[in-house]
Structure 1
Amino acid sequence: MFKKINSRKKKGFTLVEMVMVLFIIAMLMLLILPNLSQQKDNATKKSNEAFRTTIQTQVDLTYKPGDAKLEKLESDGVISSKQKERADKMKMKITDGKVVLPEDKVTNPA
């Protein structure tokens, strides 16, 4: 009778093994997920800065410092309507020929 119990083949994982695997996966998730969030924020900031630089280049090449406005850029065909919408969404302004984002005013008070 004891031989039959001991001779059973081990199939599958024990509960302890499964809990350990879940614990390790949870720890890896704790390390990875915050980093992904930071990467997304960094990518958004870089994208916004690149867009601002693009608009600034268009302003510098096309208009005198006091003449540029986002509406004029769009009506003259210098930027597309999608670019104008994105600029409005970002609350981008053109002041004295310089393209300014709201966060620029906070970090660069000058």
Structure 2
Amino acid sequence: MRQIKNKKQAGFTLIEMMIVMLVISVLLIITIPNITKHNSNINNKGCQAFIKMVQAQVQSYEMDKGKYPANVQELVTAGYLKEGVTGCPDGKTEIKISADGEVTQVASTTTP
């Protein structure tokens, strides 16, 4: 003899879905501040690496020309840096070359 089983449809209840959404929300609340903190840290390290790269180009320019470049634009026109490169990749920090060839960062006065 064949028995008929009362089959329920498989699925999630509203309470289960709300618990899942709560857990996801808590995870997002925890991770987003960490991501933004690491993003600024990455920008700072990228700026420091860029300054070291420009410093190497200043030294190369000095070896080729016998003098230090007056500014970053002089490195660009001589072909040592790409066109449009005047500051750090974050777009907020300008770089400056001193008279003795030292490359430093200077906070930009314009706001993006």
| TM-score, normalising length: structure 1 | 0.70
Gaps of 5+ in 2: 1-5, 108-112
With the length of structure 2 as denominator, give the TM-score of the two structures. Answer: 0.69
The percent identity for this pair of structures is: 29
1:59–1:68 Cα contact (<8 Å) kept: no
Unaligned ranges ≥5, structure 1: 1-6, 104-110
Q: Does 1:97 align with 2:96?
A: no
Q: CA RMSD in A?
A: 2.6
Give, in whole Å, the separation in 1 of the partners of 2:86 and 2:78.
Answer: 12
Quote the Cα distance in structure 1 between the aligned partners of 2:16 and 2:23.
11
For residues 73 and 24 of structure 2, the distance between their equivalents in structure 1, rounded to whole angstroms, comes to: 52
| Structure in which a larger fraction of residues adopt helix | 1
Runs of 4+ in 1 over 3 A off after TM superposition: 64-68, 84-89
Aligned length: 97
The alpha-carbon distance between structure 1 residues 89 and 18, as it changes in their structure 2 partners (threshold 3 A), is: closer
Given residue 46 of structure 2, which amino acid in structure 1 is its aligned partner? S
Counterpart residue type for residue 22 of structure 1: M
What does residue 74 of structure 1 align with? 76
